Amino acid sequence: MIRREGAKIHGAVGDLEYVLGDLADVASLRRAVTDVDFVVSSANSIIPSGKTLSVKRISDSGYEALIAAAEKAGVQQFVQSSVPKHPIESTVPELAGKRLIEQRLQSSSMASTIVRNPAFMDVWLVMAGARQAIGADPHATTRRPYSVMKMWQYMMGDLVVKHRLMIAPGGREQGSVFISTYDTAQMMASMVGHPNAVNRIIEAGGPEWITWAEIADLFAQKVGHSVKTISMPAWLASMGQNTIQPLMPSAANVLALVKFVATWQPRWDSQPIVEEFNLPKQTTVSDYIERNWNIRCT
């Protein structure tokens, strides 16, 4: 489903049939799910585009309309991307929004599969100060024309290469089971039509727990000098979120996620999920950097 006429998914394998649909347009959603057996959805509200969209509108009324349309159309299974649970999620709009979607799906007449994933390495390596780690995928979040993302990369994107510094949400020893967006897509696709995935919540990340200190060492190998970490404590991200919320809600949403990553990330063991659903070997942070590092990206 695409929102604009003529849009294409670059690099897609096989022939795709494109349909127009927008979470803000109920009629378009009804048309989009007609004669559809499975819905796989990863639409999010981290950085809403357009003045009329918001986290609440996308995660609440937008998804309500999509799920209701899918139920009415007789969709067999709805696979939804989501996020880990945490006590602070009520103050993180994206997490709170995803939980609303989960609750709606769990009360649905359709079979549902919820795939919760931790921080995306594709996004957070760039956010840490290395725009040279932007993935090659033209649809990557960090390549999209969001003013917030452009501003962040303008201010922070060359910290690693030019200043030998890296932002570490929560400090050097904080980390995550970072997962690549590609691996998440593979995971969600594998759930479609799989009997083991019916009415189930899948909690899975990448193949390793890795700290910011270890990521700094990986960056150091690429740039040829040591890289120091600058701790971004949760309280600082929270203060920034509250300060900027009235002026730039999208930027506040991003800072809320920085707060979440700085506070806590799950330590899931994903190998059982990889084996159960016969997934390919997962991407490590080292693998990702080796494949995507581009020193000319300045």
Report the candidate in 149, 133, 180 with the shortest Cα–Cα distance to residue 292: 133
* Banded pLDDT at 53 (limits 50, 70, 90): very low
* Banded pLDDT at 42 (limits 50, 70, 90): confident
For residue 248, what pLDDT is reported?
A: 86
268-295 pLDDT tens trace: 999 999 999 999 999 999 999 999 998 6
- Mean pLDDT of all residues in 167-172: 97
Is-contact 135 183, C-beta < 8 A?
Answer: no
- Kindly provide the b/e burial profile for residues 213-250, where b requires at least 16 CB atoms within 10 angstroms of the residue's own CB: bebbebbbebbeeebebbebbbeebbebbeebeeeebb
Tokens of 290: 């080796």
User: For the domain bounded by 26-292, which CATH number is listed?
Assistant: 3.40.50.720
64-111 pLDDT tens trace: 999 999 999 999 999 999 999 999 999 998 899 999 999 999 999 999
Is-contact 211 174, C-beta < 8 A?
Answer: yes
Is-contact 176 205, C-beta < 8 A?
Answer: yes
For residue 89, what pLDDT is reported?
A: 93
Mean of all residue pLDDT scores within the chain: 88
Residue 54 has pLDDT above 70, yes or no: no
Which residue reads 């991407």 in tokens? 283
Question: Is 18 or 35 the better-scoring residue by pLDDT?
Answer: 35
Residue 62 has pLDDT above 90, yes or no: no
Rg (CA), the chain: 19
- pTM for this model (two decimals): 0.89
Report the candidate in 70, 48, 71 with the shortest Cα–Cα distance to residue 58: 48
* Banded pLDDT at 10 (limits 50, 70, 90): low
Q: Reduced to 3 states, what is the DSSP secondary structure of residue 22?
A: strand
Domain ranges of the chain: 26-292
Q: What is the DSSP letter of 267?
A: -
Sign of the dihedral defined by the CA atoms of residues 213, 214, 219, 220, in that order: positive
For residue 45, what pLDDT is reported?
A: 63
- Mean pLDDT of all residues in 127-134: 94
For residue 43, what pLDDT is reported?
A: 80
